[in-house]
Amino acid sequence: MSARFQQPLLAFLAIIHVATAATVTLTESPAYASQRSCAIYCWYAGFSVDGGPDQLASELDCPVDPIENDCFCRPDLQASADSYLKSCVSGVCDGNTVDVNSAVSIYDSYCTSAGYLRAEETAPAQTSSGTQQPPATVTVTALRTVTVSSGQQSLRSPTSLTTGTPTSPTSDDTLSSSSNSADSQNDSGLETGELVGIIVGILGFIATSIGVWFSYRMLKNKRAGQGNGAFMVPPHPHPIQPVTHTAKYPVMAQDNYFGYR
């Protein structure tokens, strides 16, 4: 390559290097200056010779002399920077959400304007059929109490349902059938417990009704027996007075009594 082409190429490479190695100018923005002093503490500590947000750069494990955009706004570090600012500003500014949101917005806006977009979050892994892998193992425990009308309670033992991540990709039909099978088993167990409770309640009600009926019949028969054997007393009894009769004429009385003399 001739010398006349080498010089322009070197100059172009130097310009690219300067552009990509630009230092951070975030502390020169009006939005940064408008923050409260408690929030400034999370940006600047004063140990950088060139100045700038050395505290945040240090938290991101970036060089501080100078602080360059390449590391300060690196796409995969922006989430860590936001997390640090939220925690730090909330702690030193008494949990003021306005200060927290302002600090995060200043950092995100600066990096976006400098041409550094946030790294996209990794989506859940998908199988060859397009279905997402389920989350980690989840255990669900259900406890059900059935109350019957006789006052007794039937307590059903806990039922555990455990699902886990399959070791190999499965189709939509397989996942759907597995879920339906587990649901049907769980529903069957609950229906059995409810049926037992209903049967116990019905039997208790029948036994109580029979006992009440027998008690009523015995009481009725007892009262009827007492009424048939009792002596009826007149409401107003009168004592029988002895009849005494003295004949004024005894002979006549005797004749009148016998009808002849």
Q: What residues does each domain of the chain span? A: 16-113, 138-165+182-226
Note the pLDDT tens digit of each residue in 79-128. 999 999 999 999 999 999 999 999 999 999 999 999 999 887 555 555 55
Helix-helix angle 78-92:97-113, to 10 degrees: 150
Note the pLDDT tens digit of each residue in 115-127. 999 887 555 555 5
Strand 145-147 to 159-163 pairing:
unpaired
How many Cα neighbours within 13 Å face the side chain of 68?
Answer: 11
Global pTM reads 0.42
| 55-63: long-range pairs with CB below 8 Å, 24+ | 56/81, 56/84, 56/85, 56/107, 57/24, 59/84, 60/84
Mean pLDDT across the chain, nearest whole number? 73
Task: Answer yes or no: are the C-beta atoms of 206 and 157 closer than 8 Å.
Answer: no
CA pair distance 179, 173, nearest whole angstrom: 10
CA pair distance 189, 32, nearest whole angstrom: 63
Note the pLDDT tens digit of each residue in 130-140. 556 655 554 54
Largest pairwise CA distance in the chain: 199
Give which of 241, 244, 257, 152 is closest to 201, Cα–Cα: 152
Q: Cβ-count burial of 107 within 10 angstroms (0-12 exposed, 13-18 middle, 19+ buried)?
A: buried
Lowest-pLDDT choice from 25-39, 142-156, 187-201: 142-156
Residue 25: how many other CB atoms lie within 10 Å: 14
CA pair distance 104, 36, nearest whole angstrom: 14
Q: What are phi and psi of 154, to 5 degrees?
A: -115, 120
Note the pLDDT tens digit of each residue in 163-206. 555 455 444 555 455 556 555 555 555 578 888 889 999 999 99
